[in-house]
Structure 1
Amino acid sequence: MFDFDMLGLAPELQRAVKEAGFTEPTPIQNQAIPPALEGRDVMGLAQTGTGKTLAFGLPLIDHLLAEPGKPDPKTAKALILAPTRELVNQIADSLRTLTNGTKLRVATVVGGQSINRQITFLARGTDILVATPGRLIDLMDRRAVSLAEVRHLVLDEADQMLDLGFIHALRRIAPHLGTPRQTMLFSATMPKQMEEISRTYLTDPLRIQVSPPGKAADKITQSVHFLPKADKPAKLREILSRDMDALTLVFSRTKHGAEKLMKGLVADGFNAASIHGNKSQGQRDRAIKAFREGTINVLVATDVAARGIDIPGVAYVINYDLPDVPDNYVHRIGRTARAGREGEAIAFCAPDESDLLRQIQKVMKMEVPVASGKSTLDDYSEASRPSRGSRGGPRRRGGGGGAGGQGKGGKPSFKSHEGGGQGAKRPRRRRRAA
């Protein structure tokens, strides 16, 4: 275990780390930063909320500070790819905290924003470019950016980046990158097929795994309510009413469902907003800002937020609908219990979602304790039921681990955002975009 002041970082970077209040590294930082500083390719696996952004951001910035000269027009020295707009913005905000007062420039390119403004900014060149693949390809097609000078590549949430939805974009981007280069992949889950594909992008990588893939953070208390679909709205309102001041993130499977649910909550007097793929980037940014600052305390979202929200004050995550992809459950509930805090994850399971829950439990290698209702899982064990006093919903919190008063303050944190699930009796679902 090292302290950050033992790494021999550039003086301005060491100063920024101290000002941000970081002294002891998390396990993923402890194992990934030293070899990354040496220039090794790194494949890092760690639970959500354990500091992966700092694990790749610190060595990346240190390398760039040591390089002479400014970036040429329309070029970048380092490229970070992430699957969602929210995650791109979150990463960039964290890196800007560390690069403040240095020569380095951080730029973002995401869909939903003015491409002409992004073209203008990139015309000056940038040291670090954080991007979603689709918008980056648009800019490449317009010859607004050249990646030939990129010597550092980071894929954040690498499992989703290398999933079929992004692999074609990566195959278009990769040939344009400079060589030789350092490549770092970080994720909370690592499916076997993704690991095989990742070998294309890394050279003699050091694999670092600080927790089993699919394992949720230890400080997350999980529970599930078995109930008919028609009873979900009432159960949600019951749970929300027990801790009205807590920051609560509610996940819906579809865009339409998220919007309808949010409007119903607002009509019933709850302070709620929503984010999903039908919202403009400005609307999504404003909703997350209000949630971070505590102006609203219930945020209804699709999986667009499963990997893109890093707000330490989130006390509860409610899976109103279970995700079609089991790994997404791990990412969803990882929005709570961040930065060492405690959190609670509550799931609703309707009869037609039983197979989804079964697959989630298989991925996590654990049974989710039952809070209410009768399980419809074939392999359900009575031993998984909590004691009588723990049924019926989330416990109220107090003290440092509670929800009250933790939703405010927008300081960036470095503690870091649909398919299968079919059973024999369950028809195939069509993939829905977040």
Structure 2
Amino acid sequence: MDAFKLLTRSTKLKTSSNNPAGNQSSTLPSTGKASNPQLFRNQAVLDDVNQGRKRKRGDGGSSVREYEGRNGVEEVDDASVDFFSSGNTSAGTVQKGNKKKDEDKEDSGNEDGEENGDGEGDMDDIQCRTILNSHKIKVSDLRDFEEIHPHVNTVQTEEPKRKKKKKEKKSQPQPEETQLSKKEQKKARRLFPRPLGSFKELRSRYKISRRLAENIAEQGFTVPTEVQLGSLPLLLGEETIGQKTTEGNSNGQPDLLVVAPTGSGKTLAFLIPVINNIVKWHHEGTEERGIFSIVIAPTKELAGQIVNEGRKLVAGSGVKITMMKKGMRVVEHDQNGDADVMDERSDKSESESDSEEEGKKNRSKAPVTKSDILVTTPLMLVNALSANRTKSMATLPLVRNLVLDEADVLLDPLFREQTLDIWRSCVHPNLRVSLWSATMGSNIEDLTKSTIKERNDTSGITKSNPLYRLVVGLKDSAIPNINHKLIYAGSEQGKLLGLRQLLHPTAGPSTDVRLRPPFLIFTQTIPRAVALHSELRYDIPPEAGGSSRIAVLHSDLSDSQRSEIMKGFRKGEIWILVTTDLLARGVDFRGINGVVNYDIPNSAAVYVHRVGRTGRAGREGGIAVTYYTKEDIPYVKSIANIIDVSEKARGKTGDKSVQKWLLDALPDLKKRDKKELKKHGVKARQSTVKNAKDEEQHRKTRISTKSGYERRMENKKKGAISASKARKTRQMEDDGEGSDSSWGGLDD
């Protein structure tokens, strides 16, 4: 028995929030990995579960009661009612137990399992509920209530029907009352899967591939984050307390919607089950080889990151993961489609037909990919499935896992049709779908349910798969381990001045914001990103690397340029990266010290994703700075509300970034204006200019340090130079016309 471990098991060391200036670097995200990747946990509750104690109702200080928050009714512990609490619970709240029993548990317990309040043994209902609630994990069944509990309605309606028969003689028949209230239905939908205590349990309990378990250990993963703790048991076929996930499900896996904070490890959570399933199918002796799983991401940068992480996990397992590229063939197209194409071009010239025939032959020479996992963007896969412009898309009969990363964007109007086309092309009867994001509205849930129902009706499937939703923390909220700063800059010149003060904190007036490279700067449009990069490229002194330390990244750049910039930023050669919302989602830069919203985000969800580029995996010290001007005031309130909720969850009681008077003074935005803002951003900063009024507004909001007088003088100078050149050109033309065009030779 380790005496030191026994003495310190209920003691949680914490660093002082008021670090001296000299030790400030130790709290920066770039200093290294976080010691604990979990954002929410109550150590006192986990210690009780680890020591075999059951928290019963009525026990002093440890009763379980219902808490009605933003996400509905949840069962939480009285000691941790505050969501997103730091977990620093007093050791005095831990109940005293049998010392002999505690020592036996200490000697035989698993270290990783103990730290998460979970060992290799079986857990009962109360223990599972306690651990999930302490980590702010909520699992619900989204199917129709009659499908989940088919016998509840008959039991509940017998007595009311008998009462109605007596009253029918005196009064008219009334509509049947609801048997369960919404609150009771939410409670009945709750599920409590056995949580994952440590990554070692993946091999010992869930029997995943030995090689996959070794790859996970080699990457240094020991303690699962909240989203991994709750989702991996579901995706690996774990039974839930109160309801079996295997009911009506051939392989023990449900369809799943996951809402978890940014940087919480969602990529690892969906890759492990996908890879493990493919290894099982290979071992079953399946002769067919092809695409078994598809992962869809909204950007190439995120898709490349998923492939890089996947290759680390599939090393030596025989599973192949590939990123979709131009010209890649994923299916064999039938001959009917080719015949249609030949008929369409029958009126063309022979040369055009020959060239197209040659191009078609070259494309057909490329073999169909045999990759097990295909990671792609929506449009690229849709183009590959509808090659030769056939009327109908090709199908993917082998795909059994479809993963939508950043699902709220993929099912947004921008990508919705493309994503749904891919979804419908996966025709395997045992297809499992999982949707992952840090923000997911109710419209996404409704669209998912309707798409699954439509697919089942088309395929003739009578018994649908379970559809679960897993929420970590508060839904659609920013992580609590970063500091938010909302700064009023007045005008575009004020924002540029404030940004330069972040780059040179000693040159300007004293401020409490200290942002060290590396960090990201987000703008609304591509032209604004290019203009801001031009303004800042010489702000870094030559001794520190000069203009090579600042770069701009946007979708107008070529794939090779985007790849080189991303590589330089990850290596640390680039310190400051100016970008658009291209990098707002999913991309993981370890050690980012902060995020600057030079232009306010188009929505609250975009703000959550932007600031989530820092504070990854539970790291402390990240800063999110947001500037707003007079034109932005109507659009600030939704962002201010998110900052206020995040600071309350963090337990910040001193000088807050958003005061109550500011929240009360900011105007509410109408629903129509929210839609317009989400589509086009702030009108004053739109790149399109339609009339003279827009042109004048565009001039006021351009990114430049020059005054209007300086710009007018420069324009006059440019006009004078161009006019002088034009006069010289005309004079040369006149002189040429006046002289003889032929040469008479030399005189004798």
What TM-score comes out, normalization by structure 1 length?
0.82
In the other structure, the counterpart of 1:130 is 375
Aligned-residue offset at 1:214: 2.1
In the alignment, what sits opposite 2:55? none
User: Does 1:95 find its partner at 2:305?
Assistant: no
One of 263, 267, 278 as aligned partner of 2:538:
267
**Given residue 134 of structure 1, which amino acid in structure 2 is its aligned partner?**
L
Alpha-carbon distance in structure 2 between the residues aligned to 1:71 and 1:167: 34
User: SS of the counterpart of 1:126?
Assistant: coil
Question: 1:138, CA displacement in angstroms?
Answer: 0.9
Root-mean-square deviation (CA, aligned residues, Å) is: 3.0
Structure with higher helix content: 2
Q: Are the aligned partners of 1:81 and 1:133 in contact in 2 as well (CA < 8 Å)? A: yes
Question: Which residue of 320, 345, 350 maps to 2:629?
Answer: 350
Residue 115 of structure 1 is matched in structure 2 by 327
Work out whether 1:25 is the aligned partner of 2:224: yes
How far did 1:262 drift? 1.3
Asked whether the 8 Å contact 1:420–1:428 carries over to 2, the reply is: no
Bigger relative contact order (CA 8 A; separation at least 6):
1
Shift of 1:201: 4.5
C-alpha distance after superposition, 1:198-229 (max 9, x if no partner) = 21355421211012222111111001110122
Matches within 5 A, 1:241-390: 241-242=504-505, 246-269=517-540, 271-342=549-620, 343-362=622-641, 366=645, 379=665
State the distance in 2 between where 1:428 and 1:97 align.
Answer: 45
Superposed displacement of residue 278, structure 1: 0.9
1:216 maps to 478
- Provide, for residues 369-398 of structure 1, a one-character-per-residue CA deviation record: whole Å limited to 9, x for no partner: 77699x976536xxxxxxxxxxxxxxxxxx
What corresponds to 1:396 in structure 2?
A: none
Point out the more displaced range, 58-67 or 173-182. 173-182
- Label 1:208 to 1:376 Cα distance change in 2 as closer, same or farther (>3 A): closer
* Aligned CA distance change for structure 1 residues 236 and 301 (closer, same or farther; 3 Å): same
**SS, match of residue 200 in structure 1:** helix
Q: Structure 1's 298 and 145: CA in aligned 2 closer, same or farther, altered over 3 A?
A: farther
In 2: Cα distance, 1:240 partner to 1:315 partner: 13
- Asked whether the 8 Å contact 2:640–2:663 carries over to 1, the reply is no
Identify if the C-alpha distance between structure 1 residues 367 and 188 changes in structure 2 by more than 3 Å, giving closer, same or farther: closer
Aligned to 1:77: 292
Aligned to 1:410: none
Q: Structure 1 residues 185, 428: closer, same or farther in 2, change over 3 A? A: farther
Deviates more, 1:313-322 or 1:357-366: 357-366
Maintained 8 Å contact 2:595/2:625: yes
Q: Write out per-residue CA displacement over residues 21-64 of structure 1, whole angstroms, 9 at most, x where no aligned residue.
A: 00111001000001101122211110100000011111111111
Contact 1:77/1:152 (<8 A) preserved: yes
Q: Quick one: distance in 1 between partners of 2:451 and 2:503? A: 45
1:48–1:335: 8 Å Cα contact kept in structure 2?
A: yes
- Deviation at residue 245 of structure 1 after TM alignment: 5.6
1:275 CA displacement = 1.0
TM superposition shift of 1:285: 1.5
Distance across 2 between alignment mates of 1:322 and 1:23 = 38
Q: Is the 8 A contact 1:272 1:297 kept in 2?
A: yes
Are 2:490 and 1:204 aligned?
Answer: no
Q: Flag the 1:230–1:376 CA change in 2: closer, same or farther, 3 A.
A: farther
Helix, strand or coil for the counterpart of 2:418? Answer: helix
- Which structure 2 segments of 5+ residues have no match? 1-195, 238-252, 331-362, 453-464, 506-513, 541-546, 648-654, 667-673, 689-748
Mapped partners of 1:131, 1:316: distance in 2: 29
CA distance in 2, matches of 1:29, 1:19: 18
Gap runs ≥5 in structure 1: 381-417
1:55 corresponds to: 269
Query: Greater strand share, 1 or 2?
Result: 1
Q: Deviations over 1:131-190 (max 9, x none)?
A: 100011111112798522100010111111111111111222222102221111111011
Give the C-alpha shift of residue 352 in structure 1: 1.0
Matched residues, percent identical? 31
- TM-score by length of structure 2 reads 0.49
Cα distance in 1 for residues equivalent to 2:287 and 2:486: 52
What does the per-residue CA deviation read over 1:218-255, in whole Å, with 9 as the maximum and x for residues that have no partner? 11100111012221112111102347862110001101
Change (3 A) 1:258 1:428: closer
Pair member with larger Rg: 2
Count residues in correspondence. Answer: 388
List per-residue Cα deviations over 1:73-116 (Å, max 9, x = no partner). 7x411011111111111111111110011211111125xxx435
CA contact (8 A) 1:43 1:206 kept: yes
Q: Distance in 1 between matches of 2:403 and 2:637?
A: 33
Asked if 2 retains the 8 angstrom alpha-carbon contact of 1:314 and 1:336, the reply is: yes
Decide whether the 8 Å contact of 1:78 with 1:127 is kept in 2.
yes
Alignment-derived partner of residue 396 in structure 2: 147
